[in-house]
Amino acid sequence: MTRAEPATTIREIAALAGVSGGTVSRVMNDKPGVGAATRERIKALIEEHDFHGDATARQLSRGRSDSLGIVFPLQVSEVVMHPVYPELLGAISDAAQDAGYDVILFTTNATRGVDHVLDSVKRKRVDGLILPAASSDDALLGRVVDAEIPTVLVGHRQRAGRVTWVDCTHDEALYEQTTTLLHGGRRSLTLLNGPARISAYNLRSEGFWRAIRDFGDDRVTADEKVTEMGYASGVAAVDELFARRSRPDAILCSADTTAAGVLEQLGKLGRAVPGDVAVTGFDDIEYSRHSTPPLSTVRMPLHDTGAAAVSLLLEMLTGHGATPEPRVLQTEVIERESSAG
Amino acid sequence: MTRAEPATTIREIAALAGVSGGTVSRVMNDKPGVGAATRERIKALIEEHDFHGDATARQLSRGRSDSLGIVFPLQVSEVVMHPVYPELLGAISDAAQDAGYDVILFTTNATRGVDHVLDSVKRKRVDGLILPAASSDDALLGRVVDAEIPTVLVGHRQRAGRVTWVDCTHDEALYEQTTTLLHGGRRSLTLLNGPARISAYNLRSEGFWRAIRDFGDDRVTADEKVTEMGYASGVAAVDELFARRSRPDAILCSADTTAAGVLEQLGKLGRAVPGDVAVTGFDDIEYSRHSTPPLSTVRMPLHDTGAAAVSLLLEMLTGHGATPEPRVLQTEVIERESSAG
DNA sequence: CTGTTAGCGCCTTCAG
DNA sequence: CTGAAGGCGCTAACAG
């Protein structure tokens, strides 16, 4: 196939084909109203001249951008550090691009706040937003609702106006982990959890306590400690827990990184895992498959979550204005040696 | 300050101010040729009506987008898993937005390849590209050079046409780590490194061997093993190394995650760290501050790297066509207990 | 089936 | 200092 000079406007192709710009436009958008022969001829010309059209002009003319924004709050260290975000971001970007949408990455930090993002969203005509790390006290969230920007929250369940969400079964995962531990004979459980304003943590708390209640044994003692997630917190938590009288025989962590710290510190204190203490994590990072002992954990369906977020957003954009129902995806509880009965 | 109906076009503001659209445009772009009084009046109106202009129309008119693309190869598992990318991505996005540029995130995967990215780049009039994970066999890299798209490589040193790069002193870091180990009395060193087609790994190899040569002691034995980075590789490498006769008394790893596996497995084999074997890592992830023993490692200037990448790209875009010189930033070697002499 | 005609909203000469 | 006019490249409505 010979390549001629790359053409830069629709009119050049039109001139070459001996038709008008409108016809070329119809061909490029696969719209009806062009004879098969002309269509083929134009397609060949487009191919030959490596012509791609100009997205900017198209946007201006159609009044929409076919692009969506992802907002990442860099000032929230939990987010930047959290091992699941790269994969989630990748999944969202993947799904968006497959649907013909471009992804614009917005980051907020200590100085550049939500106003800046909203300005860009308006100026750039971003069609919709995906917020992978919102919490109930998020300033952006309120503004997005007011501005009626179609938005999908990931990992935070809050619905209002043009805002819907996709999340996974954090509650069921913790319910299952907790129940399994109880059936395995554990009687003094501690949950190391993140702050409840992030609904993922809140749900895990719920599942944990519901499992305790449902088990219905008075001799069971349970406790929840809210802390930052991370290795250091795990270490600190163990130190604190074992300085007390009532020492847990099971520690459930809302992050594998925290669990790693817990495992390490239990080792130092001479506590056997899972003999003396069972430990579970959340996230299924690579480490957890290889730690000593291998860590029981929960895998979130990150790829499907990203895809679902995009699909929900597209529904809102192309649909008839109704905000679609939230979507809940299934987590997978992974049993390894660290919590063996 | 009262807010009236948000205005949506420059002409609305113009009508309100009793001037023409051109004048408002001049005000919005801080261009001369408007009387102080009119300028103030228009500014007030803009503020009052929360008017932001339309980026799309502006782009079309000016022929550029004020946006840059970041390309992330999701099919390269090393990249997705690697703990430094979130921070780097954040830094790039931050710097770009501060400079008034939008960031478009492109991902390639097994099916959607480089063609798709290049198409988008052309159609979207993306002004330039940042490639945070290129290697010498990267198909995109060649295409980008041919297409003369202003591009900055991060972490891979290759210069051609409109392509330049920013990187940090991987070589010096390894040189320093190696030299320190040798001066500490270690005599049998093994480097666990990634593949040389990624220049970061290649440079580390260089620094390692140069340090060995410079030390100039025949009794020193050194070896380099190329492997994937990650926890599992560290475990496997230790198993293999200690099944042999000549056992290293120092293991240098090109990633903290690998070093974590090494520490773990050495522990299982009953080898003391740093007593029997010194261990070093690279990346300074959170774990390394808390591991047993705390891990000596190298911190890359990720934030500055992202900022430098953006600044180089802007130089290319606004400058006089000359491709700017590459920039090398300083790594920081961090000594902790795992390599104590 | 195809061409023509208006815009989309802004920027940028060129006059005045 | 300001207004008017043309154009960026494409789409969509309307004729033919």
Q: What is the dihedral of CA B168, B284, B310, A310, to 10 degrees?
A: 140
How much is the pTM?
A: 0.89
Q: B170-300+334-339 sits in which CATH class?
A: alpha beta
Q: B230 and B83 in contact (C-beta within 8 Å)? A: no
Contact between the CB of A62 and strand D at under 7 Å: yes
**Which residue out of A92, A124, A239 would a mutagenesis test of the B interface target, given it has the greatest number of B Cβ atoms within 10 Å?**
A124
From the list B80, B98, B290, the residue facing A112 with the nearest CB is: B98
Q: Where do we find the tokens 């666990």?
A: B192
Task: Tell me the CA distances in angstroms from A192 to A253, A298, A330, B260, B318, one per residue in order.
Answer: 5, 15, 22, 23, 51
Nearest chain A CA: its distance from B230 CA (Å): 8
Q: Among A9-23, A192-206, A281-295, whose mean pLDDT is lowest?
A: A9-23
Asked if residue B2 has pLDDT above 60, the reply is no
Mean of all residue pLDDT scores within chain B: 90
Q: Give which of B56, B77, B143 to mutate to test A binding, by max A Cβ within 10 Å.
A: B56
Higher-pLDDT residue of B220, A77: B220
- Predicted confidence (pLDDT) at residue B116 exceeds the cutoff of 80: yes
Which of B80, B112, B125 is the closest to A97 by Cβ?
B112
* Residues in a beta bridge with A192: A225, A253
Q: Where in chain B is the domain with CATH 3.40.50.2300?
A: 67-168+303-325, 170-300+334-339
Contact yes or no for A287/B257 (Cβ under 8 A): yes
Peptide bond into A83 cis (omega under 30): no
When pLDDT is averaged across residues A217-222 and rounded to a whole number, the result is: 95
Q: Specify the nucleotide whose C1' lies closest to residue B35 (CA).
A: D1
Name the protein residue, with chain letter, whose CA is nearest the C1' of D8.
B61
Q: Find, in chain B, the residue whose alpha carbon is nearest to that of A59.
A: B56
Give the Cα separation of A232 and B65 in Å (integer): 44
Q: Can you say whether residue B51 is alpha, beta or left, with left for phi > 0 and alpha for psi between -120 and 50 degrees?
A: beta
Q: How many CA atoms lie within 13 A of B39 on its CB side?
A: 11
Q: For residue range A220-253, list pLDDT tens digits in order.
A: 999 999 998 889 999 999 999 999 877 899 999 9
CA distance B8 to A320: 24
Given the DSSP bridges, would you call strands A221-226 and A188-193 parallel, antiparallel or unpaired? parallel
Closest CB to A260 among B57, B287, B289: B287
Q: Which uninterrupted H or E stretch holds B119?
A: helix B114-123
Radius of gyration of chain A (CA): 26
Contacts of A277 (CB under 8 A, 6+ apart): A248, A249, A250, A251, A266, A271
Instruction: Enumerate the β-bridge partners of residue B102.
Output: B67
The residue of chain B with its CA nearest to that of A50 is B119
Q: Does the N-terminal peptide bond of residue B248 adopt cis geometry, omega within 30 degrees of 0?
A: no
Amino acid B305 reads T
Give residue-wise pLDDT tens across range A10-57. 888 888 888 888 899 999 888 888 888 889 888 888 888 888 888 889
Instruction: Give the closest of B57, B74, B103 to A104, CB-based.
Output: B103
Of B65 and B209, the one with more pLDDT: B209
* Closest chain B C-alpha to A243 CA, distance in angstroms: 20
Q: Give the pLDDT band (50/70/90) at residue B81.
A: low
> B195 with B137: CB under 8 angstroms?
no
Residue B63 CB lies within 7 Å of the nucleic strand D: yes
Per-residue confidence (pLDDT) for residue B64, from 0 to 100: 82
A104 CA: distance to closest CA in chain B (Å): 4
Give the pLDDT of residue B6. Answer: 61
Under an 8 A CB cutoff, do A57 and B60 touch? Answer: yes
* Positions of chain C reached by protein Cβ under 7 A: 1-5, 7-13
CA distances from A191 to A77, A188, B284 (A): 21, 10, 28
Q: CB-side exposure of B264: number of CA atoms within 13 Å? A: 27
Quote the percentage of chain B above a pLDDT of 70: 96
Residue A105 pLDDT > 90:
yes
**Environment class of A243 (CB within 10 Å of its CB; exposed 0-12, middle 13-18, buried 19+):** exposed
Q: Identify each DSSP E strand in chain A by its residue range.
A: 67-73, 102-108, 128-131, 151-154, 163-168, 188-193, 221-226, 250-253, 278-280, 297-299, 327-329, 332-334
Asked whether the predicted pLDDT for residue A189 surpasses 70, the reply is yes
Q: Is the pLDDT of residue A77 over 70?
A: no
Cβ(B113)–Cβ(B79) below 8 Å: no
Q: What residues contact residue A200 under an 8 Å CB cut-off, 6+ apart?
A: A155, A156, A167, A170, A194
Cβ–Cβ of A105/B89 closer than 8 Å?
yes
Residue A92 has pLDDT above 80, yes or no: yes
- Residue A18 CB closer than 7 angstroms to strand D? no
Sorted by sequence, the CB contacts under 8 Å of residue B116 that are 6+ apart come out as A97, B108
**CA-nearest residue of chain B to A74?**
B90
**Which chain B residues are within 8 Å of A260, Cβ to Cβ?**
287
Task: Specify the pairing of strand A297-299 against strand A332-334.
Answer: antiparallel
User: How many of the other CB atoms lie within 10 Å of CB of B11?
Assistant: 12
Closest Cα in chain A to B256 = A287
pLDDT band, residue B3 (cuts 50/70/90):
very low
Per-residue pLDDT band for B74 (boundaries 50, 70, 90) equals: confident
- Cα separation, A25 vs A17, in Å, equals 12
> For chain A, what percent of residues have pLDDT higher than 90?
55
Q: How far apart are CA A126 and CA A225, in angstroms?
A: 40
- Average per-residue pLDDT for chain A: 90
Say which of B56, B87, B119 has its CB closest to residue A52.
B119
How many Cα atoms sit within 13 Å of B280 on the Cβ side? 33
What is the b/e burial string over B264-278, where b = at least 16 CB atoms within 10 angstroms of the residue's CB?
Answer: bbbeeeebebbeebb
Q: Read off the pLDDT of each residue in A291-314 and give the average, rounded to a whole number.
A: 95
- Please answer yes or no on whether B98 and A107 come within 8 Å at the CB atom: no
* Test the B interface: residue of A64, A82, A106, A290 with most B CBs within 10 Å: A290
- The fold adopted by the segment(s) A10-62 is 434 Repressor (Amino-terminal Domain) (1.10.260)
pLDDT for the residue numbered A78: 64
A290 to B231: CB separation less than 8 angstroms, yes or no: yes
Which of B46, B65, B107 to mutate to test binding with chain A, by most A CBs within 10 Å of its CB?
Answer: B107
Q: Is the pLDDT reported for residue A149 higher than 80?
A: yes
Lookup result for tokens 């959170």:
B286
Kindly list the residues from chain A whose CB atom is less than 8 angstroms away from the CB atom of residue B60: 54, 56-57, 60
Residues carrying CATH 1.10.260.40, chain B: 10-62
Q: How far apart are CA A322 and CA A21, in angstroms?
A: 36
Q: What is the CA radius of gyration of chain B?
A: 26
Q: What's the CATH architecture for B67-168+303-325?
A: 3-Layer(aba) Sandwich (3.40)
Cis peptide before B293 (omega within 30 of 0): yes
Residue B258: list chain A partners with CB under 8 A: none
Question: Tens digit of pLDDT for each residue in B245-302?
Answer: 778 999 999 999 999 999 999 999 999 999 999 999 999 998 899 888 999 999 999 9
CB contact under 8 A, A94 and B86: no
Q: What pLDDT, on a 0 to 100 scale, did the predictor assign at position B305?
A: 96
The DSSP symbol for B7 reads P
- Average pLDDT for B335-340: 97
Provide the shortest C-alpha distance from residue A341 to chain B (in Å).
23
Q: What is the β-pairing status of strands B221-226 and B163-168?
A: unpaired
pLDDT for A4 beyond 60: no
DSSP assignment, residue B339? G
The per-residue pLDDT for A240 is 95
- A122-127 average pLDDT score: 86
Of A109, A122, A292, nearest to B264 by CB-CB distance is A292
Q: Do B90 and A72 touch (CB under 8 A)?
A: yes
Cβ-Cβ contacts under 8 Å, B125 against chain A:
54-56
Mean pLDDT on B212-239: 94
Distance CA B338, CA B242 (A): 18
pLDDT of residue B78: 64
Minimal Cα distance from B303: which residue of A? A74
What was the pLDDT predicted at B117? 86
Which residue of chain A is at minimal alpha-carbon distance from B235? A290
Any idea which of A175-184, B2-11, B44-53, B127-136 has the lowest mean pLDDT? Answer: B2-11
